Amino acid sequence: MFSISASDLLKVLEQLPVWRKVVSMSNEIDALKKRIELLEQTQQQVPKADQCPKCRGLAFRLQETVPDPTFGDLGVQRSLYKCSSCGYSKYEQIS
């Protein structure tokens, strides 16, 4: 009967390119899981933002809401949105 120890079997497997690829993929999957977990934690801490119309990044946030310079006496306000990635800003009038 033929018997082989676990350490001898691992030595043989490590010589196979397919086995090295499987081990490499396993390590890569573990690293990706850690990155996803970190991203999910970061997303929970960051205030929600919209997509910037200029750079398409998710850093377009409301900065301030102030009375409109022309129609402020009538209750019209305007909101300033600004992208913290590219600096693009836009005023939006609200009533």
What pLDDT, in 10s, does the model give residues 9-38? 888 888 999 988 998 899 999 999 999 998
41 and 13 belong to one structural domain: yes
pLDDT tens digits, 35-78:
999 888 877 665 667 889 999 888 899 999 999 988 888 889 99
Residue 54 lies in a domain: no
Nearest CA-CA partner of 90 in 72, 64, 70: 64
Is 80 in contact with 64 (CB distance < 8 Å)?
yes
Residue 80 CA: distances (Å) to CA of 54, 55, 65, 84:
15, 17, 6, 13
Domain range spanning residue 15? 6-45
The C-alpha atoms of residue 11 and residue 22 are separated, in whole angstroms, by 15
DSSP for 52-67, please give it.
PTTT--S-EEEEEEEE
79, amino acid identity:
S
Question: Does residue 50 form part of some domain?
Answer: no
Judge whether residue 93 has pLDDT over 70. Answer: yes
Query: How many domains, in total, are found in the chain?
Result: 2
- Tokens encoding 59: 């850093």
In a domain, 31, yes or no: yes
Predicted TM-score (pTM) of the model is 0.47
Measured between alpha carbons, how far is 5 from 22 in angstroms, rounded to an integer? 21
In a shared domain, residues 89 and 64: yes
**Once rounded to an integer, what is the mean pLDDT over residues 82-89?**
93
Domain assignment present for 55: no
